[in-house]
């Protein structure tokens, strides 16, 4: 079942499935940061107020705002 990255819980592993339609402003930025289809990621931390999120992807940590995370469609693995 697909969901957006912002809906994962800390420790969840997921695979990137694509991007939400109408999110062009974030898509190019996220692709440049390594969030491509098929890549596995782990949600490692969430700030106390829920924004930003930290994910581990391709061996490095990446912080994303909730709005950016909502543009990424993932499937738990």
Domains observed in the chain: 2-76 (2.30.30.90)
- The whole-number pLDDT of residue 54 equals 96
- The whole-number pLDDT of residue 26 equals 78
Segments of the chain assigned E as strands = 2-4, 13-19, 40-46, 53-57, 60-64, 72-76
- The whole-number pLDDT of residue 55 equals 95
CA–CA dist 10, 4 (Å, integer): 14
Which residue ranges in the chain fall short of pLDDT 50?
Answer: none
């Amino acid at each position: 079942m697909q969901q957006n990255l912002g809906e994962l819980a800390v420790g969840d592993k997921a695979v990137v499935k694509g991007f939400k339609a109408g999110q062009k402003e974030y898509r190019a930025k996220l692709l440049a940061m390594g969030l491509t289809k098929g890549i596995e990621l782990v949600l490692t931390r969430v700030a106390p107020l829920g924004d930003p999120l930290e994910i581990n992807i391709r061996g490095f940590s990446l912080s994303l705002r909730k709005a950016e995370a909502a543009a990424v469609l993932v499937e738990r693995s």
